[in-house]
Amino acid sequence: SDDKVGHGNILINVGKLKESQDSLKEALQIYNEAYNLFVSQGGLRGIAVSLYRIAKIETELNQPELALAKLNEAEEIYLKLDEKYGLIFSYNQFSRTYNKLGESTKAIEMAKKAQNLAFQINSEPLLAESFLRLSEAYKKRKQFELAFDAFESYEKINTELISWENNKRVSSLEHQ
């Protein structure tokens, strides 16, 4: 059963690669295969990750209703496991999906949920993403000032992260 978990994790990574190459239908197929593997061995975390990944693709492929069902299931598992990172990823994806459906109120609500958890666990990259989702939802509502403010926060965090990464690289080069 450890083999199945390992194989499932490899499939998730292959799916991410396909996703990054814009082979969405192929990625979806691979994520579904991973999901079935995790289900067959009862790995809750793997099931939740697969569901999140599948939902992300379904949203991109304009199947938001299917995506919401998967995200609800993933959220339930992440809550059971008290897995905050998974919840943040899911809430940000909920926000994207609701935004695609034109439900900006729910999109904002989910982005704020993601934001609160990202603050709690002090995750700058996930916080940045939640500001981006907020910005998109406000823009959809034509609340341009709020959209701009949220986007500015996203940009600020992102710039700090890039600068921090660059400083880390320079410092490691200096110490070689």
pLDDT in tens, 96-150: 999 999 999 999 999 999 999 999 999 999 999 999 999 999 999 999 999 999 9
C-alpha closest to that of 49 among 108, 18, 17, 5: 5
Given this model, what pLDDT does residue 2 score?
66
Q: Which tens digit of pLDDT belongs to each residue from 66-102?
A: 999 999 999 999 999 999 999 999 999 999 999 999 9
Average of per-residue pLDDT across 29-56: 96
At 28, list the tokens: 């979806």
Q: What is the pLDDT of residue 99?
A: 96
> How high is the pLDDT of residue 168?
72
pLDDT bin (cut points 50, 70, 90) of residue 1 is low
pTM over 0.75: yes
Q: What is the pLDDT of residue 160?
A: 84
